[in-house]
Structure 1
Amino acid sequence: MQTIRNMFAHLDWANRRILEALQAAPANEVGHSVKLFRHVLQAERIWLIRLRGESSEGLSVWSDDTDLANCAALIEANGSGFAAWLDAIPEARLNDPIAYRNQAGAPFESTARDILTHIALHGQYHRGQVNAALRAGGLEPSPVDYILYARLNENA
């Protein structure tokens, strides 16, 4: 369970660092990067809703919203939501199947452990794309590797 908690603490830290990098960049140069980052945050929201046993139907995974204030709000909501969910689930229940429907309405079942792993990996993949886009545009990317997070937080 501690590994999953660490992954989600890292996810929250990395999301905040990417947000800071996007906020520091000229707004007219980061539109695509913000859309991609918004996708990460919205996907996290959708998976959290599914983990809670609620329907995510009607929520779009992609948005044209490039308002960084909305991204900041999603980071806060997702971070507190995952922390509360992880605090409430016993480790023994992580392998229980969770039934949900994807955004097209198709039914699936996955274990909570697999869903949580997917969320962490999905976000890291797309945060890498955001950083690559920032670098390609001559802007400053934000290092978000797990090992950096671990080094910075080893005495916390």
Structure 2
Amino acid sequence: MQTIRTMFAHMDWANRQLLEALQAAPKDEASQATLLFLHVLQAERIWLTRLRGESSEGIRLWVDDTDSLDCAALIEANGSGFQAWLDALPEEELDQPVAYRSQAGAPFETSTRDILIHVALHGQYHRGQINTLLRQSGADPKPVDYILYARLGEG
């Protein structure tokens, strides 16, 4: 359970690092990277909603307007939401199935552990893409590797 908690603490730290990079980049140059970042944050929100046993039906996975959401507010809500949810989760429930519907409405059941691992890996995959987009646009990317997080004593 501690590994999962650490993965989510790293995820929150990495999101905050990327937000700094996106805020420092010229807005027009970072727009594609910001859209992808909003996708990451929306996906985190969707999965947290599902883990709480709520419907994610009204939450858009892809947002076209970078001004329509406040990234900082989403980072805060997702970070504190996952931390509180994980703090209340008994370890023996990690392998229990979670029933939910995809954004297309298809029913699924997936273990809590697999959902949590997916959320952490999905975000890390896209954060690498976001850094590439920042670099290609001439903006400065932010290192978000776990080892850096650990070296900084964050983990």
TM over 0.5: yes
Q: How does 1:16-95 map to 2 (within 5 A)?
A: 16-67=16-67, 70-95=70-95
Distance in 2, matches of 1:64 and 1:71, equals 14
What TM-score, normalized by structure 2, do the two folds share? 0.97
Distance in 1, matches of 2:144 and 2:77, equals 20
Structure 1 unaligned blocks of 5 or more: none
Q: Is the 8 A contact 1:38 1:71 kept in 2?
A: yes
Amino acid at match of 2:67: D
Q: Counterpart of 2:70 in 1: which secondary structure? A: helix
Give the ranges of 4+ consecutive aligned residues of structure 1 lying more than 3 Å apart after TM superposition: none
Q: Is the 8 A contact 1:38 1:65 kept in 2?
A: no
What is the Cα deviation at residue 58 of structure 1?
2.2
Cα pair distance change 1:17/1:68, threshold 3 Å: farther
Aligned to 1:152: 152
What is the count of residue pairs matched by the alignment? 155
Q: Counterpart of 1:100 in 2: which secondary structure? A: strand
Identical columns (%): 72
Amino acid at match of 2:87: D
Distance in 2, matches of 1:103 and 1:153, equals 37
What is the Cα deviation at residue 112 of structure 1?
0.5
Deviations 1:2-58 (A, max 9, x none): 000000000000000000000001111111110000000000000000000000012
Structure 2 unaligned blocks of 5 or more: none
Q: Is the 8 A contact 1:44 1:119 kept in 2?
A: yes
Q: Is the 8 A contact 1:18 1:142 kept in 2?
A: yes
Deviations 1:48-95 (A, max 9, x none): 000000000121100013139701100000001000100111011000
Q: How does 1:137-148 map to 2 (within 5 A)?
A: 137-148=137-148
Aligned to 1:123: 123
Amino acid at match of 1:98: V
1 or 2 for the larger relative contact order (CA 8 Å, sep ≥6)?
Answer: 2
